[in-house]
Structure 1
């Protein structure tokens, strides 16, 4: 990044402008000091909150003159400008603490377990950091020497181990310059890349001769959002090219707004594929091998990238982990020199050519790529990598969220956690004494909690499955779980060879649970207990309103654009996602005419639970009548698999001549592909599916592969204790309990399912909504305006 670029965000400097590159102390040291194996054997890692608290305890023990979180920075100017394109390297960071009385600069690290098990390359990185800070400190204050200290705080005992070294300023300056020299070639490359990237993006052109209807409006709104640094909620219908219509303006805005990184976040693999295809088109090609002036990286899950799932992730077990950091520089350079789009196959090819792990190469490349395509969890989850990199490197980022209507439920899932009583009881009988004792204590506390909850509910000890919301946070049990985390962490730190997969999984789940519990607030979450019998229960910390967790991530982005075909009502998404008050909402014009989609409402059918049995024959008759009137491929959606099976079985009995196929629970990827493969061009038959499932959104059956859809449900969530509690919470906080808990999520699924029918500007089809409630004014108000349902209620198209 050129120095001062953010002060003049509307201009681009010429080719001969001075090149300046900024780098954080940690990034500089990680780049120059890390060697050896990749080692992801279990080590007891403190949580972020534990680390902060540990730092605070160390600082509290120091004298009142102690300077904590000391900002330090310094320039490095290459010795001979003729030998380097770079004019200045700026190194910045915050030292943990400095005591001016003793002239001691400290780097504080928290740990659990045995300090002597800290990997050598990790210790070398810590020394590199504190010595770099020492050089910057001596520069600032004109010191001739300084005492450097690595302070390791054992969270289990609260004891400090201090390693010190008194070093003269000349030596530290020499090391600093040597480190910068090592980094210099990379910094030159990165500064030049940034300049060339920004110049190319200012000349970026749309890859087609014209925009689709609505696509230009979406692009303009996106560009304005980036220009004003605001969030945008864009409801844009299927078929206008939303992915291309948002990526194009966001890329154009990058040089103008001095944006460092653009994150394209999707809910499904299909969304990532569309984004990579659009980026290839913008680069002037049709596939990922095309050269681009910006670097694009696809991030994928670890289990999908691992080449040796049967091996542990360290140098003694996996050949791709051995010597990882020694071979990383060559692999990193080769990946970025390729200049194509680094999708999963490209990253894998480079990684295997250099005998290193593809997954961790991808994690490293995320530091150096301009556009990153991945799942929403990479930015919004509790331990989101892209969000952490944004904070650590002080990036200015813009974010695109595809199918954003799903972010509410995904956010709720990210900030919820569940523990199982049976697994706890099983582990306490098989673990060593140092672990089994705290597990047994928690088991007793858990049993007491279940007994208390049952008593409050008036339930007998032998009752069947029962659900109960806890009236207060189970603080005693939470303290016990924290002791369990410490005990297991200390044990595994002392005995890494005894790492049992089930014990590790329980540890990670418990750590996630207790960390979320630290942020518990009844305004956004609750504790609930479900039991199936004696000694068998699940304790859940359930998030109801993800806004409180998502809001800081949205605020950290320079601009976030959330787009989907279903983002109404806007207030629902503003409230549940925690969007800033100045968020803009737009509804993009549809490219379709009402005449293209024949929408009918069967007001004589009720799909309410009490009327399900009576609805089967009318639904079957409706399906058959439409099929015979216009033979083709159809999708029929139902609220549950039981309802689906009831109708499909009756349909087969009465109309065996009509081909049909059914979605089943827990279909794997191959089975889902086989289901969709039945929708051939010119084909005929009915596919039965559940609303909200794998085939209700994100499915692109173009042309005449799909003639229409039947929707036999409003998609309302079940009226169970969990959703009733959600309704109560949303009513208390937003005054919209029933709508937010039931109607909005349900009708969003309906519109998404109906959106499978019309995918292109020349297509036509039919949607039959089977329930009398679809004719209600409040329900019709949530349907796409271009359907013009109110005009059709008295027409011949409505049954």
Structure 2
């Protein structure tokens, strides 16, 4: 019995068993919960002040009930809003706040309300030996400040039957979980590594990951492309689950393509006998059945009656499937007429491994509250391509507002709702003042270390005035614009709660518009706090270099582990050439076009096959592409477009086939094709990289540089050099994917010969050759392929 303890709140028990009706995400203001709390407190205070000898009111009464039911020990907990003690009766008071007129509310307004109150009443009756007890539903209308009451008497036997019926229905699911856990753990304990042999470094990496999980700590791992990082993290995490060290694994990615690799890894393990439920969470916009997500029953047939069908669909998919892919979710959602995104979030509660974007674990605006709202749990975070998390972290913890939407909306709202128009006008006027400050600055940008606190009360006034109107109006002019602006303002004020010395505020004049931004310079603390929601975290990438920089910027500390795994492949399989007689600095680019075309030709003419040539910008790439295509018309050339659909990306990658012709593909460094793609064997035999990958010079990068110069005198490195070199390392990693792969790599830029950059080279790059001219490249490449 001790091993089968189930802890559940009364609210969750009732909602899970009895839920029904529509999925409805109609606007409910952010202050609604706060107003509800205040309404509860207001009524409770009123009742308490009326306490006398005949009647006593106790507010917020905690209740806990341990019951052995069938094979389980249930711990049921909750808090009754009020207990009214009168001379001849006890009344359990359940308070609900509503916006709907009270004359439209009856006793059956929401069956969950009465069910919850009856559970409180049963537990209170059992613990106080009561044969009869009363339940009172109190509905309080926030707008009218009026209440409506429904009082009903129940015997202890009536309540017992009701409570045990709920428990019986929940028991089916509890038993379902228990049976699955036993089956899952048995398969885990019998599971062996899913490949015949470990690659060099894989066993060491897997052991380090397992020990990190066991200790409940963090580790930062740099492992070259081709080591097999995905299975080296997932396999030990699954083993840890079988030992009871975790209840859930979160495999976190920055891009869909890396999520696909993790999904395939779980499939491979399941093919070897593992029984584990995995789920891939797809963003709502990408999985919604409608052209535009609108989760309410008036607009979406899948939202109407969603909860009536949900539990049956859950039973079906969990009984029949273990790998919940995007396609699987869509199939069952269509068959059961459910919102696929909300369906996937429900499945997540029953899944062992969740594969999803960083946002769902770390972003304060959208993280999965069902998992992360209650503090530290025993979850494991496996953070793939962790080098992406620094900039993504800055995005998560930054927020911005533009002046134009406030002005445009004011013109719409002035006749519809003067109070909102007035609030909008106040913000617009304040931003005009900020624009004037900008105009006095060089470059039209004004910065300050402190928050611009004066704007906060204007924004809060706007959200307060907007909430009631948004709740009552829909489908009319201005609604969508106001709703979007409301959430943008809400995002800004929420991010302001995190403001400290790692932030800066700046105002920028942009033509006839003004932008105000809270910018996170250093996400390390907030990422570190987010990781604490779990038990252990594994940060891994082929390009965590220098590793101490990433350890610092991603929220690590001195006690956390680091690990560097050497390349498992023969060094002679990759020929690395450094062409350091070319300057690709912005001021020298125009002079380099013709010479670059010659260098690229020297690389690709050594052997027929597919080559990727990476450039720091679209403009630079296009200029060299035009010259190269004209100079070498016999070579098949392809260029990456600036915006590509998922279908276009697939078609682009499908070009990389093993054939007898030469194809030179021009792409952007740091773009969608410089990391995450897997072109094994002869699908790709060479890479050329033009430039050192520096991020584009911009104001934000410069203020990051200034910030870290003050912290550690490494501002240029943290802001430009390290992020740039990571792009280079990622791009080079496209060439050698397996022990059989062979390829040539050419780095073209004078800076690659400097000490600062060479210190960032991985060890297996030590056998590089620096060339003086194009002819040397041609001779080296010819010799390389001649010996292969």
Match of 2:207 in 1: 220
Contact 1:546/1:577 (8 A) holds in 2: yes
The alpha carbon displacement at 1:680 in A equals: 2.0
Q: 2: distance between equivalents of 1:119 and 1:374?
A: 43
* 2:785 match: none
**Contact 1:263–1:371 (CA<8 Å) still a contact in 2?**
yes
1:786 equivalent to 2:770? Answer no
Alpha-carbon distance in 2 for matches of 1:392, 1:133: 22
Counterpart secondary structure, 1:77:
strand
In the alignment, which residue of structure 2 is the partner of 1:748? Answer: 726
Shift of 1:332: 0.7
TM-score of the two chains, using structure 1 as the length reference: 0.87
Structure 2's unaligned 5+ residue stretches are 50-55, 782-788
Deviation string 1:61-116 (CA, Å, 9 cap, x unpaired) is 997999987664323333xx4xxxx2323324x52766798888676777779789
Note closer, same or farther for the CA distance 1:746–1:146 as it changes in structure 2 (3 Å cut).
Answer: farther
Shift of 1:411: 1.6
Counterpart position of 2:784 = none
Residue 713 to residue 89, structure 1, CA distance change in 2 (3 Å)? same
Identify the range of structure 1 (243-252 vs 537-546) with the bigger mean alpha-carbon deviation: 537-546
In the other structure, the counterpart of 1:36 is 21
Q: Deviations over 1:224-274 (max 9, x none)?
A: 111111112111111122111111110010132342111112211112221
Aligned to 1:501: 480
Aligned-partner SS, 2:603? helix
| Residue in structure 1 matched with residue 636 of structure 2 by the alignment | 659
The partner residue of 2:409 within 390, 405, 427 is 427
Question: Greater shift after overlay, 717-726 or 121-130?
Answer: 121-130
CA distance in 1, matches of 2:642, 2:270: 41
1:704 aligns to 2:686 (yes or no): no
The Cα of 1:488 is off from its aligned counterpart by 1.8
1:476 deviation in Å? 2.7
Whether the 8 Å contact between 1:114 and 1:494 is mirrored in structure 2 is no
Distance 2:646 2:304 in 1: 33
Moved more, 743-752 or 172-181: 172-181
Does the 8 Å contact 1:390/1:396 carry over to 2? no
Q: Distance in 2 between matches of 1:118 and 1:417?
A: 41
Cα 1:574/1:331, change in 2 over 3 Å: same
- 1:594–1:788 Cα contact (<8 Å) kept: no
Quote the residue 1:668 is aligned against.
Answer: 645
Where does residue 633 of structure 1 map in the other structure? 610
State whether residues 616 and 650 of structure 1, in contact with CA within 8 Å, keep that contact through their aligned partners in structure 2.
yes
The answer for the alignment partner of 2:540 in structure 1 is 563
CA shift in 2, pair 1:328/1:422, >3 Å: same
Partner-residue secondary structure (3-state), 1:600: strand
Aligned mates of 1:441, 1:425 — CA distance in 2: 11
Aligned residue among 372, 395, 400 for 1:418:
400
Is the alpha carbon distance of 1:355 and 1:453 closer, same or farther for their aligned partners in structure 2, counting shifts above 3 Å? Answer: closer
Tell me what 2:664 maps to. Answer: 686
Q: How does 1:223-622 map to 2 (within 5 A)?
A: 223-284=210-271, 293-309=275-291, 312-391=294-373, 395-431=377-413, 433=415, 435-455=417-437, 458-459=440-441, 466-470=444-448, 472-498=450-476, 500-521=479-500, 523-534=501-512, 536-579=513-556, 581-622=558-599
User: Are the aligned partners of 1:36 and 1:121 in contact in 2 as well (CA < 8 Å)?
Assistant: no
Give the number of the structure whose alpha-carbon radius of gyration is greater: 2
- Among 59, 68, 86, the residue aligned to 1:77: 68
Q: Equivalent residue for 2:52?
A: none
Deviations 1:461-517 (A, max 9, x none): xxxx83332454232322112222222221021224547322222222222122212
Distance in 2 (alpha carbons) for counterparts of 1:435 and 1:616: 59
Q: Distance in 2 between matches of 1:119 and 1:431?
A: 36
Render the CA deviation track for 1:140-172: whole Å, top value 9, x for unaligned: 566677776777888889x68686757668254
1:10 aligns with none
The alignment partner of 2:171 has SS state of helix
The root-mean-square deviation of aligned C-alpha atoms, in Å, is: 3.5
SS at 2:566 equivalent: coil
Give ranges in structure 1 of 5+ residues lacking alignment: 5-18, 286-290
Question: In the aligned structure 1, how far is the partner of 2:585 from the partner of 2:331?
Answer: 54
TM-score (norm 2): 0.88
2: CA distance between counterparts of 1:469 and 1:53?
38
C-alpha deviation, 1:442, in angstroms: 3.6
Tell me if the contact between 2:406 and 2:428 (Cα under 8 Å) persists in the aligned partners. Answer: no
Give the direction of change, closer, same or farther, for the CA distance of 1:726–1:394 in structure 2 (3 Å limit).
closer
**Counterpart in 1 of 2:115?**
128
Q: Per the alignment, do residues 665 and 213 of structure 1 end up closer, same or farther by CA in structure 2, a change over 3 Å counting?
A: same
Q: Displacement, 1:520?
A: 2.2
Q: Secondary structure at the match of 2:265?
A: helix
Q: In structure 2, what is the Cα distance between the partners aligned to 1:452 and 1:42?
A: 31
Q: Describe the superposition over 1:529-557 as per-residue Cα deviations: whole angstroms up to 9, x where unpaired.
A: 222233x1222222222233322321121
Q: 1:642 to 1:352 in 2, by over 3 A?
A: same
**What CA distance in whole angstroms lies between the structure 2 residues aligned with 1:104 and 1:474?**
50
